[in-house]
Amino acid sequence: MGRSNIKAWHFSDIANWRGHRVHLLGASPTKQWRVIQELTQPNLTGDPPADIIGLDWNGPQGIAYKGESWSRDGWQDADFLTIRETVRRSLREMRAFWEERGVWPAEGKTPIERLEPAVKEPDDPIWAANGGDLSDPDPLGSPDEWAELVDYEDEDGPYPIEQAIIVTYEDGRTFAYRTQTERNYVEYHEGLWDEVVDERP
């Protein structure tokens, strides 16, 4: 399923998966739902239904970089949201989609309710040296674009914002620098040379 060039049905008929435990990998909820129907609904040959043990899809993360979120009504514009907010919006819609079809657990706590979010947001904002907030969409594009722009062998960068040099100063400000040159420039003009409290590469 999903964007892979090689699909499971290139090797076997979908009917062969009935009667087995199946995890659906990739594709949007609407496509996953169609496959669930094929694997579980009664058919003319009386094949046993598949046991759908799980499903996942990383589409919301990838498409968020393009300024869109997934919804039950199709893709929606989300340029006005941060990447994190866009992904959360898609996930809320996905949960509603599965709840409408009785697939989401009807009772009991979900993993996020039991274990809390896997990623915690920082209490204090970390500001990029260019004035932006780390939670803002990266104006330089997606990680795929960075793969072409970044020279990881060059110690001076530039680094993607996710791998920035994070420096905290005595006045409480925390900056994220993409390059050592950028850091030198800001520290010189802001008079921060000797005020470093913490530094994380």
**Does 120 map to a domain?**
no
Q: Is residue 68 part of a domain?
A: yes
β-pairing, 76-77 with 68-69? Answer: antiparallel
Residue 187 to residues 27, 159, 175, 194, 195, Cα–Cα distance (Å): 47, 18, 10, 9, 9
Domain boundary among 95, 115, 135: 115
Which positions ≥6 away from 108 have C-beta within 8 Å?
A: none
User: What is the model's pTM?
Assistant: 0.53
Shared domain for 71 and 138, answered yes or no, is: no
For residue 150, tell me if it sits in a domain.
yes
Q: 34 with 63, same domain?
A: yes
137 lies in the same domain as 92: no
The pLDDT score that the predictor gives to residue 154 is 58
94 shares a domain with 142? no
Residue 142 lies inside a defined structural domain of this protein: yes
CA 43 to chain centre: 37
69 domain residue, yes or no: yes
Does 2 map to a domain? Answer: no
99 shares a domain with 175: no
Those residues whose C-beta lies under 8 Å from the C-beta of residue 86, and which sit 6 or more positions away, are: 60, 64, 67, 68, 69, 78
Pair 64, 141 in one domain: no
| pLDDT at res. 93 | 93
Cβ–Cβ under 8 Å, residues 140 and 157: no
Whether residues 99 and 147 share a domain: the answer is no
- Of 94, 115, 136, which one is at a domain's C-terminal end? 115
* 139 and 169 share one domain: yes
Are 167 and 107 within one domain?
A: no
Where among 84, 115, 146 does a domain terminate?
115
118-147: pLDDT as tens digits: 666 555 555 555 555 555 545 545 555 555
What are the per-10-residue average pLDDT scores of the chain (201 residues)? 73 87 90 92 90 88 90 89 90 91 69 67 57 52 53 58 79 83 84 86 69
Q: Phi-psi category of 48—alpha, beta or left, where left has phi over 0 and alpha has psi -120 to 50?
A: beta
Same domain assignment for residues 192 and 153: yes
Is residue 174 in a domain? yes
Report which of 144, 125, 130 is spatially closest to residue 177, judged by C-alpha positions: 130
Instruction: Verify that 133 and 105 share a domain, yes or no.
Output: no
Burial class of residue 39 in the structure, from the number of CB atoms within 10 Å of its CB (0-12 exposed, 13-18 middle, 19+ buried) = buried
As for how many domains the chain has, the answer is 2
- Residue 122 belongs to a domain: no
Range of the domain at 72: 8-115
- What is residue 156's predicted lDDT score, i.e. its pLDDT? 58
If asked whether residues 20 and 92 sit together in one domain, one would say yes
Task: Locate 56 and state its tokens.
Answer: 């996942």
